[in-house]
Structure 1
Amino acid sequence: MRACHEMDAREVADIYLRARAAVDPDAAEALGDAPDLRFPDYSPEAFERRHSIDRAALRALGDQPGLLAAVMRERLTSEVELDAVGFTRRLLAPLATPVHLVRQVFDDLPSGTAAERRRIRMHLAAVPDTLAELQRTLLAEAEQGNVVAARQVRVVADQVDRWLAGRFFDGVLDGAAPREAAAATAAFADLSATLRTRLLPLAPTADGVGRDVYSVTAGAFLGEHVDLDELYVFGWDLIARLQERGRALATQIVGEPDMAAAAAHLDADPGGRVAVGGPLVAWLQQRIDLAAGVAHDRIAAMPERTRAVEARLTTAASGVMYYTPADAASTRPGRVWWTVPDGTADVATWREVSTVHHEGVPGHHLQHAITHDLAHLHPWQRYLCHVHGYAEGWAHYAEELAEEVGLLPTPGEQLGLVLARLWRACRIVVDIGLHLDLPIPAGAPGPCADATRWTPELGATVLHEIAGVEPQTARFEVDRYLGWPGQALAFAVGARLWRQARETAERRAGPAFDLRTFHTEALALGPMGLGPLREALRDAVDPEERA
């Protein structure tokens, strides 16, 4: 790249995006290309090339002024630091790792035409080479001592084995590509064997990563460095406040301040349960569509072009709901995906409404619908700048917005929101406590009352007994926290920033404050780390304050 004084930030972003497109299909899509293969290159050489591209762009940016420069500088610095501590190349965890992304590609590929079906066959045939390169990277890193904890190796191997037991690849294209499906199945079986026989013996038994690594990963997930000890205290205080409201709602529901009793009462109501399968998809779509109309009118203006969102079921994860945005070319819409624990016949929807709002509208989908329609944003920021603190923070804040605009009309659904927020509050103390080995404070509630130190088992118990998380999901969650150190902070910490920014804007504007306008204009800034966002929102409220 040319020297930084010869280019502005947009030129740096142009060069960066073109360079990344050679090893990153998402970057190619952001440029308007349609790469034949959706799989990135996971070889050691490709990881090194991406790292070199990041460092070159960071050097070229220098200390240039402007919002795009600030956003890129934070992201590239985070990426370089994540690679320096080994996180990027050793990544194995229960969700959203290269292993899962290879599997998940088949959920998003269209299959309506002969050309689209040929493309799916091509992807099936490419699975063996893609996974072979990923194995080469994982083993090369492990030989240098850079390997995730044994728990993460086992949990991913177990997930792969479940996909194989369910004969997932045999069902791709309804069995019309048996040779390619067999090759993909064999490649995943080989991956599972490699994880168990070659990687697991090299993996450490300690689950926590320690303060030094955690400070880097948490900073990268949030997009700013934070006071971890202050956040630990904040998490405990938030739990106490939410429990107080939950007890008040429980009194409305069952006549006593017992959230567990209220939850059991709501779970037992057959009118509030929906069968897994077609009925659950229909229920999910209906709630998303309802929320979309209300959110567009009262929370933020949603562009018509990107407003559509689909409800889907999948087997890609365990006991979670998640969102996948539309691709850059809008060939597929945004989608909310739901999986339920094995053997579940039906679900109590009062528990899930808040998560629907988080993943769909006014949460992730609303944010992405606005972002993808922002023609003034550089394509890198519009499509590739994903910061957990920004995205998850907005989505968690949006759960409360949903109640504020009347989308949670019953005490049961409001209790579901409290439990969802308790889940995110528990995430803070469990995540920080496990990775930093912090003591449990005196007077801690529920299962922590007689404990002094954290264990994974205690973390799952806390999620179950305090936040009402189903036991299998609670165990999955703790495994995820341990595999993604610091990511669990993004929800409540990001939501706190959005609330603080809104309160500041309300104080400044007084009676003239308009909620829909504030959200629309704030989201129009585009995705970014919490540090740049804090500055941008402050300047948006009072452009003269910074000067």
Structure 2
Amino acid sequence: MAPQNPTGTSATSTPSGLPGAPGTTGDAGTTPRLIADRYVETHADLDPAAALMMGIRPGSDLLPDFSPEGCEARAVAARDTLAELDALVPETAVADLPDVERRAARLLRERLGSDLDRHEAGEELAFVAPLMSPVQRVRMMLDLTPRGDTEEWAVLARRLRRMPACLEGYRQALTAGRERGLRAAPRQVEAVADQLADALDTRWYHSLVAEADTLPNGGAPAALRADLAEAADTAASAAAALRDHLREEYLPAVADVPDAVGEERYLLGARRWTGADLDLDDAYAYGWEEYRRLRSEMIEAAGAVLPGADPASAMDHLNRHGRAIEGVEEIRVWLQEFMDRTIAEVDGTHFDLPEPVRRVESMIAPPGSAAAPYYTAPSLDFSRPGRTWLPTMGETRFPLWSLVSTWYHEGVPGHHLQLAQWTHLADRLSRYQTGLGKISASTEGWALYAERLADELGLLTDPGDRLGYLSEQMLRAMRVIIDIGMHTGRRIPEGVPQPGPGGPELRAGDAWTPELAHAFVSAYSGMEAKYITSEITRYLGGPGQAISYKLGERAWLAGREAARAAHAARGAEFDLKAWHTAALALGSLGLDDLADELAVLP
């Protein structure tokens, strides 16, 4: 059972060792962190998906309210919290707060401000995308619902029965969006309808309750199994109704909507994912700078795999003849053993891992997932561990060259190390800073930095694995280029290096299209065509998300090098392990703050 208040503090007490916030006019113990954590409680009541991810509403059988009224209720909570923060400490006085309170106040103000900007623009009323939109959030909730004792199975049954009302609320939001002229693009609608169809075709909702018959302890009591099967029927019928609505009603009404969202909406999305108001010209130029650098490194690495080969040929060779694992369960076990070995290798040498952080589970993603691997953080009490998820896309053979660096990204020293460490420190920071207030540029930036760190630490000794690492780095650089390019109309600049054989011609002044982006990615990724198609659809459905990886990594690297230089300037030795420990104790930060905070760490 997860504690309702893992920080161990009440709404009127100050966390151990922390002074009250300067300028407090009411309760002297109120601080920005406590305001943030009270907001976590409020938001958890309004968003059961967030509560489940944090593990703070055990036994809840609720699903989110995606209707316009549900969206407005969450906006009201955000406005009220911002008003409380402003009354406690005006924005102009935040710099005078103790560091831990200053970071909490800045994060809360920026995150809620970004949420409200998107709400006022009506973004929730046209949110149809194959990643992180309501359909995927509901699927993840069902997948993460505990299924152990009798009451947990009963909770799953009740949650499945709530699917019709939940998805009807989502349909109402989409209808309200259409009435306001806010519509999703056809590509996104088709992708989500296909995800629902995939889940239905594979009877995924029924597979959740079928586990009752296969668990070693017998699963749910026999008397509950008929109810579970009926609940799965209800959920599947709701999913089928939404699939049909998307295909038959919504899709014809949005046939003229372009894929690109334009610069104004793109900047809203970019702020959501990076916590910053970006200079898009600077970001676009940086993407090309990294493309040039990584292209040269990939050509050299390809020769180490297959003498004389270009990157595409070397990756094709690895796909056909390199190390591979046969079987879905076999690759799950291999990835688990890989993470266990990595933890043993880095713990005590490059990092100090607390006991709960040493546990991470390898999982296979459910049908209907997007193509990219992903990670889910542990619950606040670690009763649900951190988990990495591999979508199989129907494949049963898995080349390893493309997975090694990815699992440094998803597991250790990547997402799991950072997010599980944040969870471990939630009582020292706040649950908002370590959970609800996560910013992609901080987390995905760290995970991409972790891949580079694995290379720096000499963990990528196999030539194929290192080419896989460079391919992943190149993918993130290309994401910056094509995501900004497709959505905002920025053109291909003069003098860019051309891809190798089989790649597209990059002509100065040409506009980015999904077809050109697909060919560009194909020249350097080694990914199957259907995976690349899924990637391009993902970028178009989540403006600004794809750029958060590389821009976040840039901030982590800049912060590290500034801290190293500061140590050198005062004649002190730079301890990378100590710096990592301090950096992982900061909690979530946006790009407006990240590099500056990292630069001054001891």
Structure 2 CA distance, aligned partners of 1:233 and 1:298? 37
The one of 156, 164, 171 aligned to 1:135 = 171
Q: Which amino acid aligns with 1:528?
A: L
> Do the aligned partners of 1:4 and 1:59 also contact (CA within 8 Å) in 2?
no
**Is 1:396 equivalent to 2:432 in the alignment?**
no
In the alignment, the residues of structure 2 paired with residue 505 and residue 535 of structure 1 have an alpha-carbon distance, to the nearest angstrom, of 9
For 2:443, what is the secondary structure of its paired residue? helix
Partner of 1:269: 321
1:242 aligns with 2:242: no
Q: Could you report, residue by residue, the CA deviation over 1:352-384 in whole angstroms, capped at 9, with x for unpaired residues? A: 111111111111000011100112111222221
CA distance in 2: counterparts of 1:68 and 1:165, whole angstroms: 45
> Once the 2 structures are TM-superposed, how far is the Cα of residue 38 of structure 1 from its aligned partner?
5.1
Shift of 1:257: 4.9
Deviation at 1:26, TM superposition (A): 5.3
User: Does structure 1 conserve the Cα–Cα contact (< 8 Å) formed by 2:55 and 2:379?
Assistant: no
Kindly state the Cα deviation for residue 35 of structure 1 after the two structures are TM-superposed: 4.7
Q: Does 1:479 align with 2:531?
A: no
Residue of structure 2 equivalent to 1:347:
398
* Candidates 447, 453, 460, aligned match of 2:511: 453
Matched, 1:40 2:64: yes
Percent of matched pairs sharing the same residue = 34
Question: Distance between the aligned counterparts of 1:55 and 1:276, measured in 2?
Answer: 50
- Give the AA of the match of 1:119: V
Match of 2:361 in 1: 310
Residues 195, 520 of structure 1: alpha-carbon distance in 2 compared, 3 angstrom cutoff? same
Matching of residue 49 in structure 1 with residue 49 in structure 2: no
Change (3 A) 1:263 1:195: same
Q: Distance in 2 between matches of 1:74 and 1:238?
A: 29
Identify the residue that residue 283 of structure 2 maps to in structure 1: 231
Contact 2:560 2:599 in 1 (8 A): no
Question: Which structure 2 residues correspond to residues 80-119 of structure 1 after superposition, within 5 A?
Answer: 80-119=116-155
Q: Judging by fraction of residues, say which structure has more helix.
A: 1
Q: Provide closer, same or farther for how the CA distance between residues 28 and 192 of structure 1 changes in structure 2, counting only shifts above 3 A.
A: closer
Q: Is the 8 A contact 1:388 1:487 kept in 2?
A: yes
- 2:158 aligns to what? 122
Corresponding position of 2:42: 19
Q: 2:374 aligns with which of 322, 346, 349?
A: 322
Residue by residue over 1:225-282, the C-alpha shift from the partner in whole angstroms, topping out at 9 and shown as x without a partner, is: 1210111111111111101011111222222151122222222326x01113111011
Name the aligned partner's letter for residue 154 of structure 1: E
Preserved contact between residue 27 and residue 380 of structure 1 (Cα < 8 Å): no
> Match of 1:488, SS?
coil
1:464 counterpart letter in structure 2:
S
3-state DSSP of counterpart to 1:124: helix
TM-aligned CA distance change 1:111 to 1:93, over 3 Å: same
Q: 1:518 aligns with which of 579, 594, 598?
A: 579
2:547 to 489, 498, 519: 489
Whether the aligned pair in 2 keeps the contact of 1:299 and 1:516 (CA below 8 Å) is: yes
- What do residues 468-489 of structure 1 show as CA deviations (whole Å, max 9, x unaligned)? 2321111101100000001011
Per the alignment, do residues 454 and 20 of structure 1 end up closer, same or farther by CA in structure 2, a change over 3 Å counting? same
Which amino acid in structure 2 is aligned with residue 449 of structure 1?
L
TM-superposed deviation, 1:120:
1.5
Q: 2:309 & 2:24 partners in 1: Cα distance?
A: 61
Amino acid at match of 1:46: G
Separation in 2, partners of 1:85, 1:295: 45
Pick from 432, 436, 459: which aligns with 1:380?
432
Cα distance change, pair 368–259 in 1 and its aligned pair in 2 (3 A):
same
Q: Tell me how far apart the structure 1 counterparts of residues 51 and 471 of structure 2 sit (CA, whole Å).
A: 40
Displacement of 1:57 in angstroms is 1.6
Match for 1:149 among 182, 185, 194?
A: 185
CA displacement at 1:442 relative to structure 2: 3.0
| Aligned-pair CA distance for 1:412 | 1.0
Do the aligned partners of residues 190 and 202 (structure 1) sit closer, same or farther apart at CA in structure 2, a change above 3 Å counting? same
Structure 1 window deviating more from structure 2 (134-143 vs 292-301): it is: 292-301
User: Contact conserved, 2:183 with 2:257, CA < 8 A, in 1?
Assistant: no
1:232–1:429 CA contact under 8 A, matched in 2: yes
Aligned residue among 97, 100, 107 for 1:71? 107
SS in 1 for 2:232: helix
* Residue 357 of structure 1 pairs with residue 408 of structure 2: yes
Whether the 8 Å CA contact 2:316–2:526 is kept in 1: the answer is no
Q: Which residue of 1 aligns with 2:562?
A: 504
Could you tell me which runs of 5 or more consecutive residues in structure 1 were left unpaired when the two chains were aligned. 542-547
State the Cα deviation string for residues 397-454 of structure 1 (Å, max 9, x = none).
1001111222211111010000000110110111000001111123332214247111
- Answer with 450-459 or 203-212: which moved more: 450-459
Q: Which residue identity is paired with 1:70?
A: R
The structural deviation recorded for 1:531 is 1.4
Which stretch shifts more, 75-84 or 3-12?
A: 3-12
Contact 1:71–1:532 (8 Å) recurs in 2 = no
For residue 532 of structure 1, the aligned residue among 575, 582, 593 is: 593
Structure 2-normalised TM-score? Answer: 0.86
| Distance in 2 (alpha carbons) for counterparts of 1:504 and 1:539 | 8
Residues 59 and 155, structure 2, Cα contact 8 Å, conserved in 1: no
Distance 1:51 1:233 in 2: 36
Aligned residues: 539
Deviates more, 1:410-419 or 1:103-112: 103-112
Tell me the CA shift for residue 20 of structure 1: 1.8
CA distance in 1 between partners of 2:276 and 2:186 (Å) = 29
Q: 1:359 to 1:31 in 2, by over 3 A?
A: closer
Q: Residue in 1 aligned with 2:204?
A: 168
Looking at structure 1, the residues matched to 182 and 279 of structure 2 have their Cα atoms a distance apart, in angstroms, of 27
Counterpart of 2:243 in structure 1: which amino acid? S
Distance 1:268 1:22, change over 3 A: closer
Contact 2:559 2:594 in 1 (8 A): no
Contact 1:442–1:449, Cα closer than 8 Å, also in 2: no
Equivalent position amino acid for 1:85 in 2:
A
1:432 and 2:484 are equivalent in the alignment: yes
Q: Contact conserved, 1:222 with 1:494, CA < 8 A, in 2? A: yes
- How much has 1:283 moved relative to structure 2? 1.0
Q: Is the 8 A contact 1:13 1:380 kept in 2?
A: yes
Deviating more after overlay: 9-18 vs 404-413: 9-18
